[in-house]
Structure 1
């Protein structure tokens, strides 16, 4: 069953006023499903996971655009950066909304996009399901004001603590919306393995996947907390500069969000370290081996996971 995403309205508006639309975000959050749903079969879909399509886009990008006529939906555009200048030349001569793109590697992708499509592209960052999307609540920005909160309290159903932590433990991935514990374990095991084997190698020079996995687990223990790079590095058995660089890799991949502190520029003694939040609480629970929602609720990190889920 398809669950309506709150970003649908934003995507439709940007497609109407921008020459190119790009949807970024972590793997498996529903980027392609969302755009194919909005396209309703009215645009050609191509994916760069197909080696034949990717080879054509990299070796003959001009021929690629002749074979696949816009309007186009191109999946995993970061795999074919040579296509971006040709998209720029095409959209400069035509109207808005001819190209919808998706991409997972924010770091490399945004570098190529800013060089080739600056001023022509609308960018949307998609994460997994929010509670409001799963509960079927209306779309709209969250405003931390008394009037808004009182209205939301009347609209929203109050979740029992057991159900709330069931949702936190399960996570926000669309594929796990109604999954069993066995499905949950298998899914995140495959997800982490794919991330280590594909995304990590594409984003940084990591020779030891096991060492990066230890770092990933150590980083999960800091979710909802202020980051201490020296302590994190010690737990992962790496240097502090490496820990800082690898955390940026997780942020670029969309797995973590770094909340920077707000302070006056002349403040000398304020703490300047950011807080770190995993964008999917289910992934953090898997990495820290919280085997079910009841154990997570009763565990020492329950408040950190609740804060992470809210953020």
Structure 2
């Protein structure tokens, strides 16, 4: 059964403005499925660059390729045939038709740079993550949130609260559409195959990784550091590789959209801020698999449960803003005194600070840390503590307890 994606609204809107639309994201998050669903009932051609014959033609003779596969077209895994980009530019420059080319691709840095250089002004780029808790529940909030009581209460009216068991079922299950609702044995087989057939192969093709054993250990070490500051020395030691190789592999996994590095908050008016990013997985199910959490119950009761809850909250925020109308920058605050704010959302020149606590009754004094941002050159707006509270509860005039189900 097809699960409606919240990114569909934004994609269809921008499709009427740009000649080319590119949807990036990790393998198996549903990019092709979403675009095929949107193309139903139209005459849009579909071709995958995983097809060796099609890829060979695209590489040898891009002009002939588009005689064989005529636009409007959906091209899957465009990063495997970068020679097509120049021909796409030529065709776009000869027509005013919008939405002529739909592309999907893994967000590798070299590919993205070439796309942006070749198709500047002609392409709209959107990012699709795995399924969010909203999408699994069939919810699409009608309004963006500014973390005010009114907007939070409006969302509360649209979404029921989640139990801690439901949240960790979502965390453990992850967001890959192909693994939803399967049993534990099938889930383990899915993720094992995902690592061996996609990650190892893509790492070899995109980054020249030849030692799959050490790369597997690197993946496991990354999962062990989830929601922590990146430590290249620890990663290198765990995988028995050099620190430069650890940096290269981490950069590669970010390019493959497996990992996400949350940047540290920076502001000219604040001193002694950390420069080290924090490490998160774009799919918590993959992270749980790599760390051998075999059931949602053991994950929920385990020592790392707070880190997984933080990863889940950061992931839900990223998915929400990727599909939303407003652009926002996410970061985290940490200074030389080790004072930390889990997430700082910068939107429209306003800072929204958030703490993340796997508790239904967190310490309300946590919001006092938000005053650290008052010295910044940007205005501090509303924020709060994202937690397992069953309802929206005001803490003070600017902050509230925010149920995680409302993100």
- How does the TM-score come out when normalised to structure 2? 0.74
Deviation at 1:243, TM superposition (A): 1.6
For residues 38 and 304 of structure 1, do their structure 2 counterparts lie closer, same or farther at Cα, with a shift above 3 Å needed? same
Measured on the aligned residues, the alpha-carbon RMSD in Å equals 1.5
- Which of 130, 133, 143 is the aligned partner of 2:132? 130
Residues 1:40 and 2:40 aligned together: yes
Deviation at 1:100, TM superposition (A): 0.2
For residues 104-123 of structure 1, what are the alpha-carbon distances to aligned partners after superposition, in whole Å with 9 as ceiling and x for unaligned? 14223212212311121100
More helix by share: 1
For residues 22 and 7 of structure 1, do their structure 2 counterparts lie closer, same or farther at Cα, with a shift above 3 Å needed? same
SS in structure 2 of the partner of residue 226 of structure 1: coil
Aligned to 2:255: 252
In the TM superposition, 1:79-228 aligns within 5 A as 79-94=80-95, 95-139=97-141, 141=144, 143-228=146-231
Gaps of 5+ in 2: 315-407
More strand by share: 2
Deviation at 1:137, TM superposition (A): 1.3
Aligned to 1:60: 61
Deviation at 1:124, TM superposition (A): 0.5
Deviation at 1:261, TM superposition (A): 1.0
**Which structure has the bigger radius of gyration?**
2
Distance 2:283 2:145 in 1: 19
- Which of 274, 282, 286 is the aligned partner of 1:283? 286
For residues 214 and 143 of structure 1, do their structure 2 counterparts lie closer, same or farther at Cα, with a shift above 3 Å needed? farther
- How does the TM-score come out when normalised to structure 1? 0.96
Distance 1:207 1:68 in 2: 35
- Which of 277, 280, 283 is the aligned partner of 1:274? 277
Aligned residues: 311
Is the deviation greater in 43-52 or in 220-229?
220-229
Distance 1:227 1:146 in 2: 35
Aligned to 1:239: 242
Distance 2:253 2:139 in 1: 30
For residues 274 and 142 of structure 1, do their structure 2 counterparts lie closer, same or farther at Cα, with a shift above 3 Å needed? farther
Of structures 1 and 2, the one with the larger relative CO (CA 8 A, separation 6+) is 1
In the TM superposition, 1:24-39 aligns within 5 A as 24-39=24-39
